[in-house]
Structure 1
Amino acid sequence: MKKIFLLIAVVLGIAATKVNAQDQPVRFGIRAGVNLADWQGETMTSVTDLIELSDGAVSRSMREGFHVGGYVTIPVLPGFEIEPGLLYSQKGTRITGTLPIEQVDFLNARVNITNKAEYIDLPVLAKLYVADGLYLFGGPQFSYLVSNKVKVQAGALGFNALNREWDMKSGFREFDTALTGGAGYQFTNGLNLSVGYDHGMSTVDQNGNFNTYNRVVKASVGFTF
């Protein structure tokens, strides 16, 4: 965490020097929204192949979550800004299994296994305005894994026979890196809307044995003061 806060201080210090030279105000904002997260890579490709062999009895889906936090918008040039932020963000993936037996379809027996990864994200974004209010953004993102749990739910006929959660942080990479980018619109009253995509560059497991990476689609609502 010390490395993350040191990086924030360096970015803000460099950008603030440029801002003072141009006498433009630094603005602060808050942001929240929804996440659709998944894992991708060689290991998940193997899982997908296994799913196809199971005739659909097992399926993958994105984990729904959210993100919330704040940011600092630092003008550098007309139409160009640097925007570091600090966000709490939920990631992971979900696998659902059902009994592939027609005779017991009426039971609706299924098992849900959800990886619930919770991160602190530090995106450092470059924002380029391409029209009035409309902007593109992109840059690196550094993340710290706060917790990682696996939740298993199993049941039939709408009743849960099993609903347990285990701490699985051990063996997972503590610091993650990603490239993030997207587009947004800034209204004159301070409200802004954006959609983005996080492309993980570090394997989720600490030793890199599984070649699996975080992928997150995000939709956000923010307000710049």
Structure 2
Amino acid sequence: MKRLTKLLTIIFVALLCYQTNAQTIGIKGGLNLATLNEKDNDGTYSDNYDMNPGFHFGLTVDVPLNEFLSFEPGLLLTTKGMKYEDELIGLNLSGHANLYYIDVPLNLKATHEFGSGVKLYGTIGPYVGMGLSGKIKATLEFQGDEQTEEEEIKWGSNQDEDTFKRLDMGLTFGAGVEINSILLGLSYDLGLSNISTNQDNGMSVKNRVLKFSVGYRFLSKN
């Protein structure tokens, strides 16, 4: 894992150093609303999951390809996971999973300029994510008595010992507006990797994240 994280960081730094006279460098952050798509051959179990609020923060690089298209990689600290609440015959069960990742999105970006510093843009591309840490918290309430348990996420591929696989890959789609170097964006991460360590009966767990972003572009294209 450390080698892959180091490789992703080296690639991103290399992009920062490449053609700095043409590219732009930005910073962005914002709100995440995350959930997990969980199912097996018997059905889908995540229908009752709620969006778990979190955050993302990091850097982006915009490398122009032509007048309308650019390549926009990024390096983001981002949260994923889910929140749930259920009730059964007087039992109230609630909890959440908070997962922290380093994501490297590799987007193709199309931009249309309207003048007066206003631009609309759309993005699409793959992302690669590495799980850093996380925690699952569950609370059981019955007749006024409450019991809470917490468990640290264990990353790996051992079904008996680990919670989730560390590597996550998927697609990201986004759109937004840029006004005088200030960016307002909306994006959606569609996880394609099955991060479940339990493969019995076709078990599958995939990340889903809706992001609301605010950013600022520091360098202007020449």
TM-score (norm 1): 0.78
Q: How many residues align?
A: 203
CA change 1:15–1:139 in 2 (3 A) is farther
Report the equivalent of 1:193: 184
Letter in structure 2 aligned against 1:164? E
3-state secondary structure, aligned to 1:202 = coil
Letter in structure 2 aligned against 1:184? G
CA change 1:45–1:220 in 2 (3 A) is farther
**C-alpha contact 1:153 1:160 (8 A) present in aligned 2:** no
Output the CA distance in 2 between the equivalents of 1:128 and 1:2: 32
Report the equivalent of 2:23: 26
Higher helix proportion (structure 1 or 2): 1
| Backbone CA RMSD of aligned residues | 2.7
Equivalent of 2:213 in 173, 198, 220:
220
Identity %: 29
Output the CA distance in 1 between the equivalents of 2:92 and 2:73: 42
**C-alpha contact 1:85 1:123 (8 A) present in aligned 2:** yes
1:113-143, Cα deviation, whole Å (9 max, x unpaired): 2122111111111111134300110111000
The structure whose Rg is larger is 1
Equivalent of 1:147 in 128, 133, 138:
133
Which ranges of structure 2 fall in alignment gaps of 5 or more residues?
155-161
3-state secondary structure, aligned to 1:129 = strand
Letter in structure 1 aligned against 2:166? E
Output the CA distance in 1 between the equivalents of 2:29 and 2:145: 32
Report the equivalent of 1:70: 59
Report the equivalent of 1:104: none
Output the CA distance in 1 between the equivalents of 2:145 and 2:187: 35
**C-alpha contact 1:15 1:82 (8 A) present in aligned 2:** no
TM-score (norm 2): 0.79
Letter in structure 2 aligned against 1:204? I
Q: CA deviation at 1:144?
A: 0.5
1:58-104, Cα deviation, whole Å (9 max, x unpaired): x3212111111111222221122111111111111122122445xxx
Equivalent residues in 2 for 1:132-211, closer than 5 Å: 132=114, 133-155=119-141, 161-169=146-154, 170-188=162-180, 190-206=181-197, 208-209=199-200, 210-211=203-204
Letter in structure 2 aligned against 1:194? G
CA change 1:85–1:47 in 2 (3 A) is same
3-state secondary structure, aligned to 2:45 = helix
